[in-house]
A and B are shown apart, each in its own frame.
Chain A
Amino acid sequence: MLRNLLIGLVLAGFVFIFYNLYTTYEPKTELTGIAAHYAENGALEVGAANLVTAVVVTYRGFDTLGEITILFLTASIIAFFLKLNKEDEDKIIIHRGTSELLITASQILIPMIMLFGAYVFMNGHLTPGGGFQGGAIIASAVALSIMANPNRQINHNVIIWVESISGVSFVLLGVLGIFLAGGFLDNKIIGLGEFGTLFSAGAIPIIYSFVGLKVGAEISNILNKYQKSQKES
Chain B
Amino acid sequence: MEYFDLGKISLLIGFLLIIIGFWGVLSQKNIIKIIIGFAILNTGINILMVSLGYIKGRTAPIIDSAVQQAENHNVLNSVVDPVPQALVLTAIVIGFGVTALLLAYAMKLFKAKRTLDINNFNDLKW
Q: Which of A50, A60, A63, A132 contacts B92 (CB 8 A)?
A: A132
| Bound-complex Cα distance A11 to B64 (A) | 43
| Bound-complex Cα distance A31 to B85 (A) | 14
Contact with A along B31-75 (1 / 0, CB 8 A): 000000000000000000000111110001111100000000001
Q: Which of B7, B61, B97, B108 contacts A81 (CB 8 A)?
A: B108
A-B contact count (CB 8 A): 137
Q: Which of B15, B23, B54 contacts A28 (CB 8 A)?
A: B54
| Bound-complex Cα distance A22 to B56 (A) | 16
Least Cβ distance of A193 to chain B in Å? Answer: 15
Q: Is the interface of B mostly helix, strand, loop or mixed?
A: helix
| Bound-complex Cα distance A21 to B79 (A) | 25
- Residues of B in contact (CB 8 Å), total 47
* Contacting residues, chain A, for B7 (C-beta < 8 A): 27
Using CB atoms and an 8 Å cutoff, list the residues of chain A in contact with chain B.
4, 7, 10-11, 14-15, 18, 21-22, 25, 27-31, 34-36, 38-40, 42-43, 49-52, 54-56, 60, 63-64, 67, 70-71, 73-74, 77-78, 81-82, 126-128, 130, 132, 136, 196, 215, 219, 222, 225-226, 229, 232
